[in-house]
Amino acid sequence: MALADLDIAGEEARVTPIRKTRDLVEEGIKKGYKNIVACGDDSTAHEVINTLAGLKVSKEEICFGIIPIRPSKIAQVLGVPSHEEAIKTISKRRIERVDLGKIGDQYFLISCDIETDESLARPDSFWRKLSFMTRGLASAPKIELNFKEGYRVTAQPTKVCICNILDYGKGKLRIKTDGYMTTNVSPQDELLDVVIVGKLSRSSLLRHLSDIQCNNFGRIPNVSLFRTKKVNISSENPISVMIDRQKMKANNFNCEVVPRKLNVIVGKERKF
Partner 1 sequence: MFKDAPQAPEEAAGQTIVGNSVKLEGDLILDEDITINGKVSGKVSTSKNLGIGETAEVKADVEAENIVISGKVEGEVKAREKLEITETGKVAGNISAKTLSVAPGAIFSGQCTMEGEGKAEEAKEAEEETEE
Task: List contacts with partner 1 (CB under 8 A).
Answer: 147, 149-156, 172, 175, 177-179, 181-184, 196, 198-199, 222-227
Q: CB-wise, 111 or 186, nearer to partner 1?
A: 186
Q: Cβ 70 to partner 1, closest distance in Å?
A: 34
- Min dist. Cβ of residue 153 to partner 1 (A): 5
* Residue closer to partner 1, measured from CB, 91 or 156: 156
* Least distance in angstroms from the C-beta of 229 to partner 1: 13
Whose Cβ is closer to partner 1: residue 33's or residue 226's? 226
Residue type, 59: K
Smallest distance from partner 1 to CB 48, Å: 31
Round to whole Å and give the CA distance between 203 and 186: 33
Whether the Cβ atoms of residue 66 and residue 72 lie closer than 8 Å to each other: yes
Which phi-psi region, left, alpha or beta, contains residue 190 (left: φ > 0; alpha: ψ -120 to 50)? Answer: left
Amino acid letter, residue 248 = M
> Which H or E run contains 259?
strand 246-265
Name the pairing type of β-strands 246-265 and 63-68.
parallel
Nearest CB to partner 1, comparing residues 176 and 245: 176
Q: Closest approach of Cβ 167 to partner 1, in Å? A: 19
Among 71, 2, 74, CA closest to 45: 74
How far is the C-alpha of 224 from the C-alpha of 181, rounded, in Å?
11
CA 87, 91, 38, 16 dihedral sign is positive
In the bound state with partner 1, the residue whose beta carbon lies nearer, of 177 and 203, is 177
Task: In angstroms, give the least distance from the CB of 90 to partner 1.
Answer: 32
**What distance in Å separates the CA atoms of residue 135 and residue 126, rounded to the nearest whole number?**
14
**Residue 22 vs 230, nearer CB to partner 1:** 230
Using only C-alpha atoms, the chain has a radius of gyration, in whole angstroms, of: 19
**In the beta sheet, which residues pair with residue 53?**
none
